[in-house]
Structure 1
Amino acid sequence: MSGYLTGVLVVLAFNVIAAYAVYLPLAAGQLNLGIAGFMAIGAYTAAYLTNEMGWTILPAVVAGGAAAGLVGLVVGLPVLRTHGIYLAMATFALGQVISAIFLNLDVVGGAAGYPVTEYAPPAAVFGLAIGVVLFMLLLSSTRFALYLAAVKGDPTVADLLGISVRGIQAAAFTLGAIVAGVGGGLYAHHFSFIEAQHFSVLLSVFTVLYVLFGGTQTVWGPLVGAGFFTLVPELLRAGDQYRYAIFAFVLILFMAIRPQGLVTTAMLRLRRRAGSAA
């Protein structure tokens, strides 16, 4: 495998991980625009543990995910009292605050960035991305996925049915933060350098676009959306300065035709019926 192809696949793997971190709260009807902040927590926590405390990569990355999840749980409980655009603005502000903290934290390099001594090979990145996808597939077959759909569909009815709406929303928000933190921790060790400027609001917005474009109705949507946003611009690279204009046109066309996303439950049902008929 060439270095270029490996690099593209690594970016795809990180985009897939980030997309599923956004997908979990979205599945409960919660738009999280602060996902980059949780990735930053995981990245800086894991990097500090390997650099300063002598930890190996695996436990450091796990600790980074746990730290992001803890912040997600503590902050998520009051933040999830808001809804709609107010929740989006609250998570947006949260991501900005987290990024600003690391930008001014001299112990991890501040604005100059933070070099990371330990290195995680591409195989580790691919393994984590595959693990996240498998975890999401497993989660989609549990009652928790049904609770998420019920809470997203109608929180009032879900509450009348005995489902803890706040609890499900907090669990989805926290799980998303953990996935983002683990992804951020591995990101730090693969690229061997992190800076707070990378974990900006644009990263959160692009990640949300992956999920919305791929579709939120099924667990496959984030994977397809991340793949589209990562691979199509590379396929259009021959167009040079026109490739982003072409990509934008294709994106607008798809969203006009399929505003519900590329992958829907109806599409999957049709494929299952076609497969069973064959």
Structure 2
Amino acid sequence: MSSFTEAVVLQVGISVLLALGYWIAVSTGKYSFGHTAFMAIGAYTASILTLNFSWPLPLAMLASGAAAAVAGALIGWMALRLSMLYLAIITFIFSQLVNLLISQWEYVGGASGMIGMTGTTVPLVLGCVLIVVAYLVLLSRSRLGLAYKAIREDERAATASGLRITRIAVGAFATSAAVTGVAGALSAHQLMVINPELFGPRQALLIILYCVLGGVEYFWGAALGAVALSLLPIYFDWLNEWYEIVYGLLFVALMIVRPQGLIGRRGGGRIRLPRIPAGRERESVG
């Protein structure tokens, strides 16, 4: 395998991990606009452990996933009780706070970031992708997977059937954050340098687009969306200069023309904006 092919496989594999991680949260109908925060937590946690404490990368990846999961559970517990609008705002603010913190934290290099991380390999990335895919296959066939779908399709009906939707959604959010944190750790040790700019709004938009393009009804739709959007800038260099404009227009077009994504049944797995009851927030259960 040539060095170019290896770099492409690594980039695509990490993007697929990010897409699958985000899909776990979206599969319950909860859309986060701050998943880059969990990616940053994973990247910096693993980098600190490998560079400053000489941990092996696989062990550092587990720690990064655990750190991101804890952060995801805390943010999810606070935000998932609210409507989608407030969830989007809170997760976006959280990502900006994390970005500000690491840019001011001299221990991790501040705005300059960290450098010197190595160890990401094709077998390691593909192994992580296979583990997550296997988990999602089992999840889709389990009662928990059916509960995710029930919450996404009709939260009120899911509540009436006795599902503790807040507890289930927080668990999904924590799992989603863990996978995203592992992807962040792999990304840091592939790029060999990280800084706060890598985890800004541009990356947040890209993660969302992975799922929106492929569709949120099936996890493999999100994976295919990640593959497509990862390969486009590699083979079409002009996209790097017009990235935000082209991908922003793509996001808007998909919401208008095909909100269920390129893969998915019409009306299935589409983004639904819930109404906010006047004078109060939606009540939570669980």
Query: TM > 0.5 between the two?
Result: yes
Unaligned 5+ segments in structure 1 are: 267-278
Q: CA offset at residue 34 of structure 1?
A: 0.9
- Give the Cα separation in 2 of the matches to 1:105 and 1:146: 42
Tell me which residue corresponds to 1:231: 231
User: In 2 relative to 1, CA 76–105 (structure 1 residues): closer, same or farther, beyond 3 Å?
Assistant: same
Match of 2:181 in 1: 181
Q: TM-score, normalised by structure 1?
A: 0.86
The equivalent of 1:121 in structure 2 is 121
Are 2:40 and 1:40 aligned? yes
Alpha-carbon contact 1:140-1:219 (below 8 Å) kept: no
Q: CA deviation at 1:253?
A: 7.3
Which residue does the alignment assign to 1:273? Answer: none
CA contact (8 A) 2:68 2:178 kept: yes
Change (3 A) 1:159 1:16: same
2:63 corresponding residue in structure 1: 63
Which residue number in structure 2 is paired with residue 14 of structure 1? 14
2:203 alignment partner in structure 1:
203
TM score, norm. by length of structure 2: 0.84
Give the match's secondary structure for 1:220. Answer: helix
Which position in structure 2 is the counterpart of 1:194?
Answer: 194
In structure 2, relative to structure 1, the CA distance for the partners of 1:227 and 1:78 (3 Å cut) is same
Matched residue type, 2:80: L
Q: How far has the Cα of 1:172 moved from its partner?
A: 1.0
- Structure 1 Cα separation of the partners of residues 243 and 164 of structure 2: 47
8 Å CA contact retained: 1:18, 1:180:
yes
State the Cα distance separating 1:11 from its structure 2 match.
1.4
**Corresponding residue for residue 214 of structure 1:** 214
> Does the C-alpha gap of structure 1 residues 46 and 236 become closer, same or farther in structure 2, counting only changes over 3 Å?
closer
The CA distance in 2 between the partners of 1:42 and 1:58, in whole Å, is 12
Shift of 1:233: 4.0
1:260 deviates by: 1.6
Q: Which runs of 5+ in 2 are unaligned?
A: 267-286
- Counterpart of 2:77 in structure 1 is 77
1:231 Cα deviation from its structure 2 partner = 2.1
**Alignment-mate amino acid for residue 34 of structure 1:** G
**1:93 is aligned to 2:89:** no
Q: Partners of 1:87 and 1:173 in 2: how far apart?
A: 12
On the 8 A contact 2:62/2:182 being kept in 1, the answer is yes
Deviations along 1:23-53, whole A, 9 cap, x unmatched? Answer: 1111111111111100110111111111122
Q: Relative to 1, partners in 2 of residues 1:72 and 1:245: Cα closer, same or farther, differing over 3 Å?
A: closer
More helix by share: 1
Residues 108-167 of structure 1 deviation map (CA, whole Å, 9 limit, x = unaligned): 111111123442223322222232223222221211110011111121211111111001
The aligned counterpart of 1:130 is 130
Q: Is the 8 A contact 2:75 2:91 kept in 1?
A: no
3-state DSSP of counterpart to 2:119: coil
How many angstroms apart in 1 are the aligned matches of 2:240 and 2:78?
Answer: 46
- 1:81 is paired with a residue of what secondary structure? coil
Tell me how large the CA RMSD over aligned residues is: 2.6
Aligned residues: 266
